[in-house]
A and B are shown apart, each in its own frame.
Chain A
Amino acid sequence: MEDFLYFFSFQDSSILFIVMGITLLGIGSAYVGTFSFLDNKALLGDAISHAVLPGICLGFILAGEKNPFFIVGGAIFSGALATFLSSWLKENTKLSEDSIIAVILSVFFGFGIVLLTMIQKTGNPEMAGLNQFIFGNAIGILEEDLWVYGSLSLLIILTLSLLLKEFSLLVFNAEYGKAIGFPMKGIRVVFNILMILSVVIGIQAIGVVLMAALLITPGAAARFWTDRLGTLLILAALFAIISGIVGTYISFIIPQMPTGPWVVVSLSTLALISFLFAPKKGVLFRFISRQSYLKKTHKEHVLKSLYKAMEEQKSGLQIQELLSMYPVHKTETLKSIKTLNKTNQLTVKEGFIELNESGKKEAKRIVRLHRLWELYLNEYMNIAPDHVHDSAEKLEHLITPELEELLDNRLNYPKLDPHQENIPRDHDDH
């Protein structure tokens, strides 16, 4: 608790610095990552983040110390090489994109390991800092390095915000962008540079192996909450910031613990919550809405059967008769009868079911929609009368009052459907 207060009251200015740094780089990578997620290129970020390792090592060898400029320069160089190679291979070989990314990722990483072991064997005392790049250590970032990385993050965020329209064109409809005169190739180059930059600064805190998570997961999670690009970017950035701070806090209280894994775990938790509980797109929500839709169709089928019985001059149906119409859905049918009874749409007397006034009205509506749709398919789509039933079985649950009005109007308020059955209307009885 003491640690918690100490950390979050920001008495220590270096903690404040680091949290600001993490926030900036979280926003930067979440922005870039969300765009590449929308572009269906999520794994390219993974390839780039593995691919910067040899560049970092080369920068270290050239500078002889952990100089941020050499390291960023080397990382940008090898990241750019990897991006270039992957698009070159895609154009010039028949390999699938997924193989290309896997090859680039593993070869660059392997070469990085070679350089890393070579540096290790030279016994350079600065070497210890280099290992941080593999798993990341936000607490270990030096203050002067933080200035470099922080301003690079700001640059990324600014560029993305200023060129928002261009990048949206790139990920949503590059062909259209080209047609209306945007230099799409140039925009892609700028975007790739931003991606490499965000990887380079991100690995300080997350490490090369797990950097992909900071690019992919925020966008994928935020996508479940919204369809609007602006909201999407803000949410993704928010997720990245929260998990960045959680990761930093944990490696602050447990010093030997790397930051990266904890950032990833908290990001994934947020993502899992989004996948499960987000409204509209979440698994739970879709399950519930499917269940309620199924319930509605069962209810409507019961009403329809009762109405058809009335058309055959019966006043209602025995429960057994009704159950035998839907032999595989016995429990659902019984449940529907119960709810309909509760809402006073039908009455059950000694096993005999009759429609009430409100039930009759609702039943009429469903039968009317069914038959209207059959007639529409027959007249406007030229589908034979014996082929229209299945489609109408589905659409009768979906057609809105507005659409009903439109259909009725188009068909000129018909009396009979293609099977010469009456299309029931509310004023029939009067």
Chain B
Amino acid sequence: MMTIDTNAFLIIFTASLIAISCGLLGVFMMLRKMSMTGDAISHAVLPGIVIGFFISGTQRGIEVIIGAGLLGILATLIIDWLRKKAKVQLDASIGITFTLLFAIGIILINMLAYKVDLDQECVLYGEIAYLPIDLWITKSGFSMGPRITWLAILNLLLVITFIWLLFKELKLTSFDESFGIVLGIPAGAINLALMSMVSYTTVSSFEAVGAILVVALLVVPPATAFLWTKQIKSLIKLTIGIGIGISVIGYYLAFWLDSSIAGMMVSVAGFVFLTSAVLKSKKSKFKFGTQSKEEAFSS
């Protein structure tokens, strides 16, 4: 019934949805200088996924999402505890937390390997290519289309609602946390809410792109956009554009080279990032003989 082309469309469509959800959250993570915390969360949700998977017996269970969400919040709290109470420096706190939680996740997968059908490679890299055959069948036996696409749509809707509702608060606390607190914005709660959204997005996307490549989608498109613009609205628009672009190019390159789609998306994103960095770097401007105002001040 399905031709290659509808498959291609579905995969690209889903990949774009995931890239947009991640990118939108990633913009705020980047502005808060919390990109590495995002990285830590996406590693740290692993034990939550495994435990949820073990309890519900299926990847589709709500337990998986709850488990991962809880672990994501737990990771944020551990990082905070290590930094504030034990007085470990921030980067080391992040490193210690995510490696520990990820290690526990891998151990759990290996211990439960015979009881759950959860393959560590699937968790790590995901396989979006299988998406068209993983259908959502209703009880009456009617096929609603690929399950992961529906998950991605739901996720994007939630992310958009979240950002639309809390845009002002997110913006303020990202740029000037103390000013936000003075205005009466509960910065801690906003931060936790953002982290919960990141954990949820990680879980919802890991089947398709894998837990580690979610990080790339969280970090690379916003960072690339940041090289071109400093305005938050154009930052968001550009991030969305880059997300869609890398999904399209990544898919066709992966198809052509017979390789991992998610990995290829990230490689394309990396290429776009590097090109932008070279084009927008201080050195290249110097080469072209022009000097921006900011540079005139700093030199």
Query: In whole Å, how far is B109's beta carbon from the nearest beta carbon of chain A?
Result: 9
* A-B pairs with beta carbons under 8 Å apart, 26 shown: A89-B277, A92-B283, A95-B223, A95-B227, A96-B35, A101-B35, A105-B215, A106-B266, A107-B266, A107-B267, A107-B269, A111-B270, A114-B264, A114-B267, A117-B259, A121-B259, A210-B102, A212-B99, A213-B99, A216-B92, A216-B95, A217-B92, A217-B95, A258-B106, A258-B110, A261-B110
Report, nearest first, the 7 A-B pairs whose CB atoms are least far apart: A110-B266, A107-B270, A106-B216, A113-B263, A213-B99, A261-B103, A92-B281
Cα–Cα distance between A112 and B215 once the two chains are bound (Å): 15
Whether the Cβ atoms of A265 and B103 lie closer than 8 Å is yes
Query: In whole Å, how far is A77's beta carbon from the nearest beta carbon of chain B?
Result: 17
A281 at the interface (CB under 8 A from B): yes
Identify the interface centre among A262, A264, A265: most chain B CB within 10 Å of its CB: A264
Residues on A with C-beta less than 8 A from B88 are 220, 275
Whether the Cβ atoms of B91 and A265 lie closer than 8 Å is no
Whether the Cβ atoms of A213 and B95 lie closer than 8 Å is yes
A319 at the interface (CB under 8 A from B): no
Residues on A with C-beta less than 8 A from B220 are 103, 106-107
Interface residues of A, CB < 8 Å — how many? 62
* Stretch with Cβ within 8 A of A (4 or more), from B79-87, B167-175, B233-241: B79-87
B94 at the interface (CB under 8 A from A): yes
Whether the Cβ atoms of A109 and B212 lie closer than 8 Å is yes
B200 at the interface (CB under 8 A from A): no
Residues on B with C-beta less than 8 A from A109 are 212-213, 216, 266
Whether the Cβ atoms of B96 and A217 lie closer than 8 Å is yes
Query: In whole Å, how far is B47's beta carbon from the nearest beta carbon of chain A?
Result: 11
A37 at the interface (CB under 8 A from B): yes
Chain B, interface size category, equals 35 or more
Majority SS at the chain A contact face: helix
B51 at the interface (CB under 8 A from A): no
CB < 8 Å neighbour of B103 from A106, A134, A213 = A213
Whether the Cβ atoms of A261 and B95 lie closer than 8 Å is no
Query: In whole Å, how far is A236's beta carbon from the nearest beta carbon of chain B?
Result: 12
B124 at the interface (CB under 8 A from A): yes
Whether the Cβ atoms of A99 and B35 lie closer than 8 Å is yes
Tell me the nearest residue of chain A to B127, going by C-beta.
Answer: A117
Known contacts A95-B226, A103-B219, A213-B99; decide if A121 and B33 are in contact (CB<8 Å).
Answer: no
* Stretch with Cβ within 8 A of A (4 or more), from B36-44, B64-72, B145-153: B36-44
CB < 8 Å neighbour of A93 from B95, B265, B270, B277 = B277
Cα–Cα distance between A43 and B258 once the two chains are bound (Å): 33
B60 at the interface (CB under 8 A from A): no
Q: Map CB proximity to B onto A269-281 as digits: 1 under 8 Å, 0 otherwise.
A: 0010001100001
Residues on A with C-beta less than 8 A from B39 are 102, 105-106
Known contacts A99-B35, A209-B212; decide if A121 and B269 are in contact (CB<8 Å).
Answer: no
Query: In whole Å, how far is B99's beta carbon from the nearest beta carbon of chain A?
Result: 4
B30 at the interface (CB under 8 A from A): yes
Residues on A with C-beta less than 8 A from B281 are 92-93
B125 at the interface (CB under 8 A from A): yes
Whether the Cβ atoms of B266 and A111 lie closer than 8 Å is yes
Cα–Cα distance between A89 and B283 once the two chains are bound (Å): 11
Whether the Cβ atoms of B36 and A220 lie closer than 8 Å is no
Known contacts A42-B89, A93-B277, A217-B95; decide if A99 and B223 are in contact (CB<8 Å).
Answer: yes
Residues on B with C-beta less than 8 A from A131 are 121
Query: In whole Å, how far is A89's beta carbon from the nearest beta carbon of chain B?
Result: 6
Query: In whole Å, how far is A115's beta carbon from the nearest beta carbon of chain B?
Result: 8
B7 at the interface (CB under 8 A from A): no
Query: In whole Å, how far is A163's beta carbon from the nearest beta carbon of chain B?
Result: 23
A118 at the interface (CB under 8 A from B): yes
Identify the interface centre among A98, A118, A261: most chain B CB within 10 Å of its CB: A98
